[in-house]
Chains A and B, each alone.
Chain A
Amino acid sequence: MDPLFLACSYFRRRKYQQCVDICTQLLEKNPYDQAAWTLKTRALTGQVYVDEVDVDEEGIAEMMDDNVIANCARPGTSLRLPGTGHGVPSQGVRPMSQSGRPLSGFVRPGTQGGRPGTMEQAIRTPRTAHTARPVTSASGRYVRLGTASMLSTPDGPFINLARLNFSKYATRPNLAKALFEYIFHHENDVRNALELAALATEACQFKDWWWKVQLAKCYFRLGMYRDAEKQLKSALKQQEMVDTFLYLCKVCVRLDQPLLAVEIYKQGLEKFPGEITLLAGMARIYEGMNNMDSAVSYYKDVLRFDNMHVEAIACIATHHFYTDQPEVALKFYRRLLQMGVYNAELFNNLGLCCFYAQQYDMTLNCFERALSLGEEQTLSDVWYNIGHVALGIGDMTLAYQCFRLTLANNNDHPEAYNNLGVLELRKGHVDMARAFFQAAYVIAPHMYEPHYNWAALSDQLGDLQSSYNAAKRAVDAFPNHVDSKELLKQLKHHFSLL
């Protein structure tokens, strides 16, 4: 068989390593074999390829950029200041992430750590956590996610970028595109990629939309969002592509213009009706703006076109769970299970839904499975939820053990610390309780519960100053918390009496 044909076949079957090996042999025989060279570049790129649209890592350095138009945006127009929202259950019902947004039903880049509003908050985030932010998006995780440049190859790199004559390659579109992707994804060398793209787009008299999108990708990586926007809009004029719409929205989100992004998604949907990536993108933006009603309706639209969309199912299920309809949530999670998702997180959620929907015979079964499937980080959450079930059936010893196990698996679990504190307080161990509450609010200053518990405890112990400070922190974290406000009022009254 012709080795090149075999290599092509391997490439199509995504057996990149075999493909690369054959190409290497071919190139040894004839170093000027363009077909082999292109195939090898594409195979190497394919090994490390990550869809650029879905990678959205915001580093700490990104917080300092001045691309954001309004620093004090009106509520409802910015992702930084999620407004009061529509259809969002209060913080007392649905827990908040650090950025003041309800926890999402689906983990994707940017949902866990959230976007802390201030630099201080970002730095204070316990960087031991799994959600620690890299310093810049240019370094850090991109390196790990999408490049192989760090892995040393025995006989030097495949292509020595420093010795390439970019203007020569730029005029040959068949080579240039593969080479660009290689530089961008495999080498993670955005500057050289940009140079090549700029030359290539010039060589084709600015008529190729593909190069414009690539230029925008480079600009985006370099933090030049306005330039990226210009290129993408120009590309859209030439050829309307779903990908281009998605990139443009990504740029808008980075510029903190969610409403503009929604507008662009709608334009895209006019051109490509029923495109699920566009619908899901819209739903994500509404979710980010705390507009749960709209988010859920778009996720439902997604399901109309693709009833296997995991993210949509998970988000709708979470929404139902937290709006007091666990039985509906249970149906959605079961759907996920039928689709073949089989992991600890899903069983954990199924267990919780079963418990709150009063299907007790299946509850603990689900948790057992979750425990046997889980890894360290998820195990801690599973134990935490079992602890809640134990609280629900009134078994305090089991609850205590569960929360302790949560901490054994994850030392920084603020909710577990808080609940342990409450349990210790019930036992009358005031000092232990104090220590636990303190630990909880140091780890998670965005949670209002430990602040309030600390305040209530200090109030009982007569330490009114700490009580006042803690109650104020609780109100900062959850402005509508009635108990904290009541306590604060009481304390103010007390202070004014003195």
Chain B
Amino acid sequence: MSATETRSGSTEEKSDKWLDAYRDPVASLYTFTQCITLADIQADGDWKLIIADLGTGMFNMKLKVYKGTNLMSENTIIDLPTGVVTFYMDLNEPRTPAIAVASGPYIYIYKNLRPYFKFTLPQIEVNAVEEDLWNQMKDSSINVYVLREMLEGMRADGTQLTVRSLRFLQLQDGADMVAFAELYKHTPLKKQTVITCLGTMKKSMAEEDAISCLVIGTESKYIYVLDPEAFTVLATRPLPSVPVFLSVTGMFDVEYRIVASCRNGCVYTLKRGTTDTDKSCIELNSQPVGLERIGKTIYVGCMDETLQCFTSKGKKLWTVQVPASITTIEVLDYKNKGLKAVLVALSNCEVHIYKEKYLVDIIKTDSVVTGMRFGRFGREEGALIMTTRGGGLIIKILKRNVVFEERDLIGGPPAAQNVKLNIPKKTKLFVDQTMRERENAVAMHRTFQRDLYLLRLRAAREYAKALDKSMNPISSDPTEPLKLAAQVQGIGPVFKMTVNLQNTSLSQASVNLLITFDFDDKLYNFKKTYIPVPMLVPGLNYSFETFIECLSDKGVSDNVKVYVLKEGKSIPIITGVISMPVSETLVVV
């Protein structure tokens, strides 16, 4: 009882590091970590929660801004959002940051919650053959079937086609193809890429509200750095694979470092001035599902249920196995206490908090957490925003006096050690008796000793008597070490008696033994009254059986004795006494 209480007590103890600020399980938010951010967008010291809601995935995509727990504004987004960041794009007072939403090939900039600017990624060169084909189509020199066949061939060769060609190839019906080609053949062929991830980087100042550049990862395996004022591309960095998570530090004009984890399971580090990406490449053994940086260490959550930690040079520090697959990870940076940890959301509805490689806390939620953001919300420094797979929104606040102990939860003395044992109080009676004992100690001791001698004598006499009569079920003769156990089964009038004999010696076999019974012949009839025993091998259990019939129907019973005898000796080696059960009679009720 007490043990279970302590266990439940300790789980409550874990969660007491967090206050439950808000919980709405039906907020109908469908979003991920990249699309949640916290910012003081009105420069009034009240930090807002900005969420790009993916809606149903097809329509209803919204940019939602929460002030406290109330929805403050809602803007429709045309395509699926892939990332939301806030950044300062100018030096105007009041210092209101802009919101950048990445969606498709565009970045929509919102200022004061109003659409402000749309940036389009530079176009990619269209494959010459493809362009030529569409030009021929425009001139009607080929029909749709030829076009389809040619495009099909190009795709099979591994050429990256434009969106228009891919859509065209999806069409099956000839009429549809003609209509599609007629509709689009006059517009120039464009090839655009899609933004996969979005980050910010300070341009030349390190202040909190300094002007920042946008860092964009695209499906075309490039990373672009955008100038925030003119919206021109400042730098274009190629990568060997498609980046999916970005972590940016430093300043563009001074020194920066972009860590990008890519779809091929590698983490690349880009620095100012270097072009060689392969040198500082971390090869993971599984696909990354999250990437975070704390200081000079890189934390990567992988699909193989591990959280891995690397130095910025790519040396692996440690790997922690987590109990379920990771859905997302997030940094807990609580500046008031200088506390830095990694939050790891798992598919078993838990959020584990790791400080270094030690699990310091577990938050249990009622659904799988898919998006997390820790930061300042409202006027509270340490707020944790979590969105769940079921569309719920949970907001927790880190207690200000919280201390995460940097040790394994498993180690250390068990909690049961602190439970007070229920020892009954010593009664007054006990004290009185102790007084008596103290006063008459000598007399008591003498009586006890005398009685003890008498008892020893009595026990020895009885023991000798029992040995004489061999009344024991265990032999005390060192030459014949035997053990007997007899059982009666059945409900009568016929019983079955099983006699188990075991030779308990180490090496000595027993021979020339036999079993016989002592019983009242008016009451019982034994089928076998004599059982010869074969040689008994040490350690094995031998069982012998006989049937007994009860001759009386008066509901009486008697004891039956089992003797194990040695041939040529009249005194039994061992005896078993069995009190027979009462035989059931046929009583008509």
Binding site for B on A (CB under 8 A): 60, 84, 123, 126-130, 132, 134-135, 138-141, 143-144, 150, 188-191, 221-222, 323-325, 327-328, 331, 357-361, 363-365, 367-368, 371, 383, 386, 393, 395, 398, 401-402, 404-405, 407-408, 411, 420, 431-432, 435-436, 439, 442-443, 480
- A126-B487, A407-B473 known; A431 vs B504 contact (CB < 8 Å): yes
Given contacts A357-B433, A361-B444, A432-B504, 19 further A-B contacts (CB under 8 A): A123-B489, A127-B487, A127-B489, A127-B491, A128-B578, A139-B584, A139-B589, A140-B582, A150-B554, A188-B587, A221-B589, A328-B427, A331-B429, A358-B434, A359-B437, A404-B472, A411-B485, A435-B504, A442-B485
> Contact between B466 and A359 (Cβ–Cβ < 8 Å)?
no
> Contact between A128 and B459 (Cβ–Cβ < 8 Å)?
no
> Contact between A361 and B448 (Cβ–Cβ < 8 Å)?
yes
Closest chain B CB from A198 CB (angstroms): 16
Enumerate chain B residues within 8 angstroms of A188, measured Cβ to Cβ.
Answer: 587
> Contact between B437 and A358 (Cβ–Cβ < 8 Å)?
yes
Which of A84, A128, A359 has a CB less than 8 Å from the CB of B487?
A128
> Contact between A141 and B582 (Cβ–Cβ < 8 Å)?
yes
> Contact between A222 and B589 (Cβ–Cβ < 8 Å)?
yes
Give the residue among A138, A150, A411 with the most B Cβ atoms within 10 A.
A411
> Contact between B584 and A135 (Cβ–Cβ < 8 Å)?
yes
Give the residue among A143, A190, A364, A398 with the most B Cβ atoms within 10 A.
A364
> Contact between B429 and A140 (Cβ–Cβ < 8 Å)?
no
Distance of A221 Cα from B459 Cα, bound (Å): 48
Distance of A356 Cα from B443 Cα, bound (Å): 18
Enumerate chain B residues within 8 angstroms of A407, measured Cβ to Cβ.
Answer: 472-474
Q: Is B133's CB within 8 Å of the partner chain A?
A: no
Distance of A311 Cα from B268 Cα, bound (Å): 83
A-B contact count (CB 8 A): 151
Q: Is B463's CB within 8 Å of the partner chain A?
A: yes
Within 8 A of A (CB), among B427-467: 427, 429-430, 433-434, 436-437, 440, 443-445, 447-448, 451-452, 454-456, 458-460, 462-463, 466
Closest chain B residue, CB of each to CB of A188:
B587
Distance of A386 Cα from B452 Cα, bound (Å): 11
Distance of A367 Cα from B472 Cα, bound (Å): 22
Which of A327, A395, A408 has a CB less than 8 Å from the CB of B433?
A327
13 A-B residue pairs with CB within 8 Å: A123-B489, A126-B487, A128-B486, A134-B584, A139-B585, A360-B448, A361-B440, A361-B447, A364-B448, A395-B452, A404-B463, A407-B474, A431-B504
Distance of A126 Cα from B488 Cα, bound (Å): 7
Enumerate chain B residues within 8 angstroms of A443, measured Cβ to Cβ.
Answer: 485
Enumerate chain A residues within 8 angstroms of B582, measured Cβ to Cβ.
Answer: 132, 134, 140-141, 144
> Contact between B555 and A144 (Cβ–Cβ < 8 Å)?
yes
> Contact between B472 and A408 (Cβ–Cβ < 8 Å)?
yes
Distance of A408 Cα from B467 Cα, bound (Å): 9
Q: Is B55's CB within 8 Å of the partner chain A?
A: no
Q: Is B371's CB within 8 Å of the partner chain A?
A: no
- A371-B458, A407-B473, A411-B577 known; A190 vs B589 contact (CB < 8 Å): yes
B 478-496 binary contact with A (CB < 8 Å = 1; else 0)? 0001011111111100000
Distance of A139 Cα from B589 Cα, bound (Å): 8
Enumerate chain A residues within 8 angstroms of B105, measured Cβ to Cβ.
Answer: none
Which of B424, B440, B448, B555 has a CB less than 8 Å from the CB of A325?
B424
Closest chain A residue, CB of each to CB of B504:
A435
Closest chain B CB from A453 CB (angstroms): 16
Q: Is B423's CB within 8 Å of the partner chain A?
A: yes
Closest chain A CB from B290 CB (angstroms): 32
Enumerate chain A residues within 8 angstroms of B474, measured Cβ to Cβ.
Answer: 404, 407, 420
Enumerate chain B residues within 8 angstroms of A365, measured Cβ to Cβ.
Answer: 447, 451
- A140-B582, A408-B472 known; A364 vs B459 contact (CB < 8 Å): no
B 561-589 binary contact with A (CB < 8 Å = 1; else 0)? 00000000000000011111110110101
Binding site secondary structure of chain B: mixed
Distance of A357 Cα from B431 Cα, bound (Å): 11
Distance of A127 Cα from B491 Cα, bound (Å): 9
Q: Is B513's CB within 8 Å of the partner chain A?
A: no
Give the residue among B440, B443, B504 with the most A Cβ atoms within 10 A.
B504
Nearest 3 pairs of A and B residues by beta carbon:
A364-B451, A361-B447, A360-B448
Distance of A139 Cα from B433 Cα, bound (Å): 51
Distance of A379 Cα from B472 Cα, bound (Å): 15
Distance of A331 Cα from B576 Cα, bound (Å): 39
Enumerate chain A residues within 8 angstroms of B452, measured Cβ to Cβ.
Answer: 364, 393, 395
Distance of A328 Cα from B427 Cα, bound (Å): 8
Q: Is B265's CB within 8 Å of the partner chain A?
A: no
- A143-B555, A411-B576, A442-B485 known; A132 vs B473 contact (CB < 8 Å): no
Distance of A405 Cα from B463 Cα, bound (Å): 6
Enumerate chain A residues within 8 angstroms of B585, measured Cβ to Cβ.
Answer: 139, 143
Distance of A393 Cα from B451 Cα, bound (Å): 13
Q: Is B390's CB within 8 Å of the partner chain A?
A: no
Within 8 A of A (CB), among B213-265: none
Q: Is B471's CB within 8 Å of the partner chain A?
A: yes
Distance of A184 Cα from B443 Cα, bound (Å): 61
Enumerate chain B residues within 8 angstroms of A150, measured Cβ to Cβ.
Answer: 553-555
> Contact between A401 and B459 (Cβ–Cβ < 8 Å)?
yes
Distance of A134 Cα from B553 Cα, bound (Å): 14
